[in-house]
Amino acid sequence: MAAVKKEKILVIEDEADILEVMEYNLTREGFKVVAARDGEEGLEKAKKEAPDLVLLDLMLPTIDGLEVCRQLKGDAVTRSIPVIMVTAKGEESDIVLGLGIGADDYIAKPFSPKELVARVKAVLRRGPLKEDRGGSERIVRGGLVVDAGRHEVLVDDKAVVFTATEFRLLHFLARHPGRVFTRDHLLSRVIGEDAFVIDRNIDVHVRALRRKLGPYRDLIETIRGVGYRFKYENE
């Protein structure tokens, strides 16, 4: 039987004990782990080692995490490598900045090993952001059906009327489960240049969405200080 190629995770983290916990748990899950102790080393290894994913602490010596992320996402060689920011309490504004410059997700300290592994696997599995091509995709979650082809939402088999903006917002969130989006991102991706949308406040649209989703309202989660996400299937 051919050996399965181990996916490689680059961990950029200056705190030895956190690094150790990450290395231990990721290795046990079958990942190959490469470590870097500061931002500069992290950037070097991201190019040299071609990892499948980067776990990036934000508070780092030499080059801080946000700058590392900016450089990774600005370089053709490393741009497509998913980045999970590792953040401390109170870094919500940095999380928003990081997501804005292309980070794929974040995990807040302190985290459990189970949570770490689950997020790494989820990000590896979901791949890059999907462009909206107005396809005929049908998303089913329990009794909630979001049917892009028919432009229809069913809540427990009952058709519910959504405005065009609400539908786009729900569809966009639902096809990227587990992914956190900032308000700015949702505003530009969902509402964009649409001059007919009078209310450009995302929170207003989310409130309306939740009301109409009834028993499924909790599928749209508020991430305090950051934005919104559609609940991941296994959470």
Report, in Å, the least distance between residue 58 CB and Ca ion. 7
CB 218 within 8 A of CB 193: no
Q: How far is the CB of 79 from Ca ion (least distance, A)?
A: 24
Binding mask 29-68 for Ca ion (x = CB under 5 A): ----------------------------x-x---------
Interaction mask 2-21, Ca ion, x per CB under 5 A: ------------x-------
Amino acid occupying residue 113: P
Shortest Cβ 178–Ca ion spacing (Å): 25
Q: How far is the CB of 64 from Ca ion (least distance, A)?
A: 9
Q: Say how many residues touch Ca ion, by CB under 5 A.
A: 3
**Closest to Ca ion by CB, 109 or 176:** 109
Q: Closest distance between Ca ion and the C-beta of residue 57, in Å?
A: 4
Least Å distance, CB 133 to Ca ion, is 40
- Cα separation, 8 vs 11, whole angstroms: 10
CA–CA dist 134, 184 (Å, integer): 21
By beta-carbon proximity to Ca ion, the closer residue of 59 and 197 is: 59
Determine if 91 is a binding residue for Ca ion (CB under 5 A): no
56 vs 148 by CB, closer to Ca ion:
56
CA dihedral 58, 80, 168, 232 (to 10 degrees): -60
Q: Which CB sits closer to Ca ion, 14 or 104?
A: 14
Q: How far is the CB of 158 from Ca ion (least distance, A)?
A: 50
Which tokens hold the place of 38? 């500061």
Whichever of 37 and 229 has its CB closer to Ca ion, that residue is 37
Q: Which residues bind Ca ion (CB under 5 A)?
A: 14, 57, 59
